[in-house]
């Protein structure tokens, strides 16, 4: 009997010793906690977008394509430099978006589209993945860089969102750069409004081009919202988004961009997300937070969650657009269900990737 007992304990010891440590090469998922033990893909990383939509290479001149790519590179290198030097993901997101807000190429800041009343009403939001603190502004008309206002609301006020004249007043009190409404005027955006009115594009009727603006230079209806997500060397995630909204919008319409969880979300436990697309559907699907929630509660990878939310959930609702995202391990995603999305990535190896069109094209 003693020999049998000794053999039994020896067998248990041998069996357990072989199970003490998981294979380091395994992509192990702890289903209960949703935590991944996947090794870090990047110590720091940054992803940006400049809008999604019907962006076809056949309609893009080589000069215009080069112009977009140059501005995307300028923007992402700004944020990458901050991250490489040990700066925060929040600073990288804010400064990167500033570059795109100051360019008339995108529907944000200087390039904002016109409302039905012939004005420009801008929205923005930013979120800190470490604290889950966030800030947002909606419908501002005089703030040169709305993402700066969103950051100031997050950092220096007890609120998450400010809107309209109140948001403009707060920005002025805080010493942010204020401009005349005429600053946002561009001839191309005015023509887009005129074309929208000619086609009576006042209400949405399941035509995604009614939620976008038409760029005559590239025969393109696109969502020109800009966004940035970043992971810094300290393991902190951040996300930010800025937009001029919808061409020909009325009644103070606000889309998903300033709504935390819809167009912007960041959580150090999972990922950071920024969206671009038909805002009403991003709001209804709480798209940005849904990706994070799938990772946290279901144990999905960033790729699995992004594909599920954009290609299935959003698409089945009837929505169009895309997201950029980076997870806590530095994995990056750029997922969209439109013909194209202006986008770029950079990692800790200084590798730059800039794309415009769908890989299916």
Distance, in Å, from the CA atom of 87 to the CA atom of 72, rounded to the nearest integer, reads 20
Distance, in Å, from the CA atom of 340 to the CA atom of 361, rounded to the nearest integer, reads 9
Question: Closest Cα to residue 177, out of 185, 168, 186?
Answer: 168
Q: C-alpha dihedral over 29, 31, 32, 35, to 10 degrees? A: 40
Distance, in Å, from the CA atom of 238 to the CA atom of 266, rounded to the nearest integer, reads 5
Sort strands 134-140 and 161-163 into parallel, antiparallel or unpaired: parallel
- Residues 281 and 246: beta-carbon distance below 8 Å: no
List the strands of the sheet with 271-277, edge to edge.
264-266, 271-277, 321-327, 332-336
- Residues 342 and 111: beta-carbon distance below 8 Å: no
225 is catalytic: yes
Distance, in Å, from the CA atom of 22 to the CA atom of 28, rounded to the nearest integer, reads 8
Catalytic residue among 54, 115, 142, 225: 225
Give the residue numbers marked as catalytic: 225
């Amino acid at each position: 009997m003693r020999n049998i007992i000794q053999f039994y304990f020896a067998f248990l010891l041998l069996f357990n010793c072989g199970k003490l440590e998981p294979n380091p090469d395994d992509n192990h998922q702890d289903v209960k906690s949703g935590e991944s033990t996947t090794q870090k893909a990047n110590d720091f990383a940054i992803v940006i977008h400049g809008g999604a939509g019907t962006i076809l290479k056949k309609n893009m001149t080589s000069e215009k394509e080069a112009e977009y790519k140059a501005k995307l590179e300028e923007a992402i290198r700004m944020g990458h430099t901050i991250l490489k030097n040990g700066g925060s993901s929040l600073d990288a997101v804010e400064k990167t978006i500033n570059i795109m807000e100051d360019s008339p190429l995108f529907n944000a800041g200087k390039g904002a589209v016109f409302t039905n009343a012939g004005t420009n009403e801008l929205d923005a939001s930013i979120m800190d993945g470490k604290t889950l603190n966030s800030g947002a502004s909606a419908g501002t008309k005089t703030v040169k860089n709305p993402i700066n206002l969103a950051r100031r609301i997050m950092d220096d006020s007890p609120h998450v969102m400010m809107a309209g004249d109140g948001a403009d007043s707060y920005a002025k009190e805080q010493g942010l750069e204020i401009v005349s409404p005429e600053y946002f005027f561009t001839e191309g955006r005015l023509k887009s409004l005129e074309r929208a009115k000619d086609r009576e594009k006042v209400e949405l009727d399941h035509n995604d081009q009614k939620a976008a603006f038409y760029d005559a230079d590239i025969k393109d209806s696109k969502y020109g919202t800009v966004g940035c997500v970043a992971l810094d060397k300290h393991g902190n995630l951040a996300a930010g988004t800025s937009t001029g909204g919808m061409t020909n919008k009325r009644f103070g319409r606000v889309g998903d961009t300033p709504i935390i969880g819809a167009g912007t979300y960041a959580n150090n436990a999972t990922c950071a997300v920024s969206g671009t697309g038909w805002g009403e559907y991003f709001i209804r699907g709480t798209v940005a937070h849904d990706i994070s929630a799938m990772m946290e509660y279901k144990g999905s990878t960033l790729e699995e969650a992004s594909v599920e939310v954009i290609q299935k959930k959003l698409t089945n609702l009837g929505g169009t657009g895309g997201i950029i995202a980076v997870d806590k391990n530095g994995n990056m995603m750029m997922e969209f269900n439109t013909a194209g999305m202006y986008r770029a990535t950079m990692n800790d190896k200084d590798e730059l990737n800039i794309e415009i069109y769908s890989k299916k094209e």
